[in-house]
């Protein structure tokens, strides 16, 4: 009696081992797909979940920041999974990513950050924060279209990174809240962008 040829994958591989390999492959593929799940904002991809230095973050919201007639950048806001409700000015681990559509000079970043923080804090609180803010502002670099800044507070330290490279760290929670407040506080740069980042659609 003629026996049909075995599939090429199984040739030379014991049946139990082949079954085990297939089971492992089917188990691994969905996990990999989940790990690379993204959302898109005008062609910019943001992960729905990520991990940095052992701290997990999940996506709260995302949107576009428009200035006058220009679309300046796309953004995404994350928090630790154990804090599912938006709390951008609290002590919870949180992260803001901004990817730019236009070139911006480092000096312009520093000036805008300084003015925004001063306007929101008032002179007294701004004066207390100024040394830490100046150190932060000196770390800025100019960006080109496609560059991405990430601002992260992991519960103990603040980190500014450009395209994954750490530019500045600080252990000052007041500085972290002041910086996140520029986009996510009660008086943000734009209400619609804050609301999109906080998932208020």
pLDDT tens sequence across 21-49? 333 333 333 323 344 699 999 999 999 99
Residue 20 has pLDDT above 80, yes or no: no
Residue 56 has pLDDT above 60, yes or no: yes
Residue 8 has pLDDT above 80, yes or no: no
pLDDT, position 197: 97
Q: Residue 137, Cα to own-chain centre: how many angstroms?
A: 19
Top pLDDT among 178 and 4 is at 178
Are the beta carbons of 185 and 88 closer than 8 angstroms? yes
Residue 17 has pLDDT above 60, yes or no: no
Average pLDDT, the chain: 85
Are the beta carbons of 136 and 170 closer than 8 angstroms? yes
Residue 15 has pLDDT above 90, yes or no: no
Strands (E), 68-162: 70-79, 94-100, 148-153, 158-162
Top pLDDT among 13 and 79 is at 79
pLDDT, position 151: 98
Q: Indicate the pTM of the whole model.
A: 0.81
User: Helix-strand-coil percent breakdown of the chain, rounded to 5?
Assistant: 35, 30, 35
Per-residue pLDDT, averaged over 103-124, amounts to 96
Hey, what are 106's tokens?
């480092």
């Amino acid at each position: 009696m003629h026996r049909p040829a075995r599939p090429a994958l199984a040739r030379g591989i014991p049946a139990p081992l082949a079954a085990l390999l297939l089971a492992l492959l089917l188990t691994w593929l969905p996990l990999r797909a989940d790990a690379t799940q993204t959302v898109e904002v005008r062609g910019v991809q943001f992960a729905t979940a990520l991990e940095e230095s052992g701290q997990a973050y999940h996506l709260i919201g995302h949107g576009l920041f428009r200035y006058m007639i220009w679309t300046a950048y796309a953004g995404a806001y994350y928090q630790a999974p154990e804090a599912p409700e938006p709390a951008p000015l609290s002590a919870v681990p949180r992260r803001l990513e901004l990817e730019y559509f236009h070139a911006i000079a480092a000096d312009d970043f520093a000036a805008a950050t300084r003015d925004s923080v001063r306007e929101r804090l008032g002179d007294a609180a701004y004066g207390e924060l100024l040394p830490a803010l100046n150190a932060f502002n000196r770390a800025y670099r100019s960006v080109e279209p496609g560059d991405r800044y990430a601002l992260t507070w992991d519960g103990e330290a603040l980190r500014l990174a450009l395209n994954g490279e750490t530019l500045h760290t600080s252990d000052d929670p007041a500085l972290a809240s002041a910086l996140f407040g520029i986009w996510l506080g009660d008086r943000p740069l734009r209400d619609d962008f804050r609301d999109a980042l906080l998932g208020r659609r």
